[in-house]
Amino acid sequence: MKQLKVNWKELKILGLMVAVFIAAYFIPFESARFKGGILEAFYMLQEYARQHVLLCLIPALFIAGGVSVFISSASVMKYLGPAAKKTVAYAVASVSGAVLAVCSCTILPLFSGIYKRGAGLGPAIAFLYSGPAINVLAIVMTARILGLQIGIARAVGAVIFSIIIGLIMHVWFRKEESERQKNAAGFGGAEQSRPLWQTVIYFALMILILIFLNWAQPNSATSNGLMLWAYSWRWVISAILALLLGIALHLFYGFKLWKVIVSGIIVLIVGILFPMQPLIPFVTAIVLISLFLAFEQGELKEWLGSTWDFAKLIIPLLFLGVLIAGALLGRPGHEAWIPSRWIELAVGGNSLWANFFASISGAFMYFATLTEVPILQGLLGSGMGKGPALALLLSGPALSLPSMLVINTVLGFKKTAAFILLVVIMSTVTGFLFGAFLG
């Protein structure tokens, strides 16, 4: 009997054609909910593009590119590698995340940078979770708006989560990671000869620019004068920090001084011409620095190349994830394919199911920095239990559908699935215990 050979390529083409046919035949295009979900997908993408790409993602990509170029693998291995003391590695990872008031998507380039430079999986995961979860501003807002109990529980839970999840991931994937660490150690070479204080100044300026560019408008009723002042002057402060960064690049890395001066003058002129549109001088500055770096040599040109590599990897997946999340869940207060009343009904009380549903919903939803607090304020007013509220607070900021897609490209499916599973399970159990404790 002649053996039948299976042509998998042709079967895949057939499967794709069948899938498109079924979708075209059965999708209820005339349905108002379907049309609303499509609109919500693009509204959310527009909102993400306007509020987060320029001021959050682009600076984060430049920081990640800087990590890949200006920090040697040996330096990363010293503090975050397998040979580093566990107390030092996890303390550094957690504190590093705590200083960044960023969302789950903005932390991704930074996580990719330190992981690819040889950081251990455990500390890298602790950093990935701590960046959006251990957010001092968000924890303060949570305590003031949602109550002191939830605020304290979120702070303690986030700190413990980042360490425990990192340790468990380290144990689960020890064999795979040991091989990767050997390759990283062999590739990294000696520590950089540049003084540590120069690297610290460079990254401190980059991080401060990221923080002040995204300084949220404080609530005048609950904020002090310093926070209001920082918000009012955030663009001026960011411009001064950018000028200092240009000077640091000249002194430490050989960036031409005339380029710093020309960039400063052009950006200043654009700022004067468009005083009410600060994004225009900001974009001008990004374009100028990119053009000048393209004609540099050595580390500076590598910095731009590394930043572009991260952008190609991360931005398309983020946009796809935001579109999917918008179609399924919509923006706060807007209906999409999944009715919001289903979510509100599912997270009432303090059952294990309510906590699990809150945790898994939070893991797939996209929360911009600090937006989880007003969203939960509305859900609590609609009958959501405090246990599920904490579960969502612990899973939501650290994960989102867009971030899952990107993490998968960095870690692979198994490690990504394990990370998601740990976050969801620990959030569920913690929320349930917290709700039971409050009684």
What is the C-alpha separation between 254 and 247, in angstroms, rounded? 10
The answer to whether residue 130 scores a pLDDT higher than 70 is: yes
Mean pLDDT of all residues belonging to the chain? 83
Q: Considering only 22-31, 77-86, 408-417, which range has the smallest mean pLDDT? A: 77-86
Higher pLDDT pick, 107 / 27: 27
Domain ranges of the chain: 36-255+296-438
Q: Which two tokens stand for residue 220?
A: 């005048």
The answer to whether residue 183 scores a pLDDT higher than 50 is: yes
Mean pLDDT over residues 236-241, rounded? 93
How high is the pLDDT of residue 196? 78
The answer to whether residue 323 scores a pLDDT higher than 70 is: yes
Mean pLDDT over residues 324-353, rounded? 80
User: pLDDT tier at 167 (50, 70, 90 boundaries)?
Assistant: very high
What is the C-alpha separation between 390 and 428, in angstroms, rounded? 9
| Residue 356 near residue 424, CB atoms below 8 Å | yes
Q: Which two tokens stand for residue 9?
A: 């390529």
Please give the share of the chain, as a percent, with pLDDT higher than 70.
86
How high is the pLDDT of residue 242? 94
* 119 DSSP assignment: -
Give the angle subtended at the CA of 121 by the CAs of 64 and 411, to the nearest 5°. Answer: 70
The gap from C-alpha 165 to its chain's centroid, in whole angstroms, comes to 17
Q: pTM higher than 0.85 for the full model?
A: no
Instruction: Report which residue type is found at 386.
Output: K
Separation in Å, CA 339 to CA 332, 344, 355, 373: 12, 9, 19, 20
The answer to whether residue 187 scores a pLDDT higher than 50 is: no
How high is the pLDDT of residue 154? 87
The answer to whether residue 218 scores a pLDDT higher than 80 is: no
The answer to whether residue 1 scores a pLDDT higher than 60 is: no
Measured from the Cβ of residue 348, the count of other Cβ atoms closer than 10 Å reads 14
Mean pLDDT over residues 10-22, rounded? 91
Tokens 């003391």 correspond to what residue? 85
Closest listed residue to residue 121, CA positions, set 58, 161, 177: 177
Stretch (H or E) spanning 319: helix 299-329
